[in-house]
């Protein structure tokens, strides 16, 4: 694929997926639902799906208290800080590491897949992780920002 620099492309997908996930987790505070509750659950009118008793741990962490969405949001905000990046993270070993990002994105996907609003964010995070894996496999390196280069027209 031409001269595509995979980790630069992956960054855009990762930022999109993460912003979506943070937004989704925010809504998960108010409309609380375990995504997988249909497995073994029964539908009650009204009331919707009553989940099976063997998933009660997720009901506690998502529906009774939104612990997983809160974790997902914090995780997402941290990932945005790393990807954007926050000035103090620039040029650190963590910022240059693709492995950290792959793990963080897959972690984000596994958190987001648990609650109702998180599925698209989870899917896109996996897409971003795959792009970073490709960058890692191709041996790409993140270049340090060149010093003293202002933006054009601003000098």
Partner 1 sequence: MGESWFQREFLNPRRAIFNVVFYGVQLFLFAYGWYSQETNKKLSALNGLKWSVWTSRGAGLVLAFDGGMILVPMLRNIIRVVRPKMTWLFPADENIWFHRQVAYSMAFWAMVHTTAHYVNFFNVERTQVRPEIALDIHYTQAGGITGHFMLLIMVLMYTTAHHKVRAQCFEAFWYTHHLAFFFMIGLYSHATGCFVRDSAGPDYIKTFPFYSTEHCLGYESWRFTIWPGIIYFGERIWREIRARRATRLSKVLVHPSGAMELRIVKPSFKYVPGQWLFIQVPDVSGWQWHPFTITSAPEDPYVSVHIRQVGDWTQGLGERVGAGPSVVAAMTQAAMKGAEKDDSVYGIRGDFVELDPTSNARPLPAVRIDGPYGAPAEDVFNCEVAVLVGAGYCTSGVTPFASILKHIWYRQKKGALGTLKRVEFFWIVRDAPSFGWFQTLLQEVEAAQADPNFLRINIYLTQKIGEDMLWNIAVNDAGAEYDPLTLLRTRTMFGRPDWKSIYMRMRTAIETGQYLPGTNAQLKTKVGTYFCGAGPIAKALKEACHNVTTNNITFTFAKEHF
2 binds partner 1 (CB under 8 A): yes
150 binds partner 1 (CB under 8 A): no
Q: From the CB of 89, what's the least distance to partner 1, in Å? A: 20
If phi over 0 gives left and psi between -120 and 50 gives alpha, with beta otherwise, what is residue 41? Answer: beta
Smaller CB distance to partner 1: residue 93 or 153? 153
Smaller CB distance to partner 1: residue 28 or 104? 28
What's the rounded Cα separation, in Å, for the pair 58 and 119?
A: 16
Q: From the CB of 51, what's the least distance to partner 1, in Å? A: 12
List the structure tokens of 99.
């492995």
Which of helix, strand or coil describes residue 87? helix
What's the rounded Cα separation, in Å, for the pair 57 and 134?
A: 36
List the structure tokens of 110.
């596994």
Contact string 81-120 vs partner 1 (x = CB under 8 A): -----------------------------------xx--x
16 binds partner 1 (CB under 8 A): yes
List the structure tokens of 53.
């008793």
Contact string 42-61 vs partner 1 (x = CB under 8 A): -x-xxxxx------------
5 binds partner 1 (CB under 8 A): yes
Q: At what angle do helices 6-28 and 119-137 cross, to 10 degrees?
A: 160
Radius of gyration for the alpha carbons in the chain, expressed in angstroms and rounded: 19
Q: From the CB of 152, what's the least distance to partner 1, in Å? A: 8
Q: For tokens 């910022």, what's the residue?
A: 95
Chain positions contacting partner 1, by CB under 8 A: 1-5, 8-9, 12-13, 16-17, 23-24, 27, 31, 33, 35, 38, 43, 45-49, 116-117, 120, 123-124, 127, 152-154
């Amino acid at each position: 694929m031409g001269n595509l620099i995979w980790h630069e492309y992956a960054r855009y997908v990762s930022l999109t997926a993460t912003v979506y996930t943070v937004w989704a987790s925010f809504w998960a505070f108010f409309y609380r639902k375990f995504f997988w509750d249909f497995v073994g659950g029964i539908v009650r009118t009204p009331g919707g799906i009553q989940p099976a008793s063997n998933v009660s741990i997720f009901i506690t962490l998502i529906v009774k208290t939104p612990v997983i969405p809160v974790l997902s949001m914090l995780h997402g905000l941290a990932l945005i800080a790393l990807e954007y990046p926050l000035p103090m993270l620039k040029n650190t070993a963590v910022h240059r590491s693709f492995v950290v990002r792959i793990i963080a994105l897959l972690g984000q996907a596994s958190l987001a897949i648990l609650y109702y609003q998180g599925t698209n964010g989870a899917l896109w995070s996996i897409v971003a992780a795959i792009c970073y894996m490709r960058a890692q496999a191709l041996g790409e390196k993140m270049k340090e920002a060149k010093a003293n280069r202002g933006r054009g027209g601003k000098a």
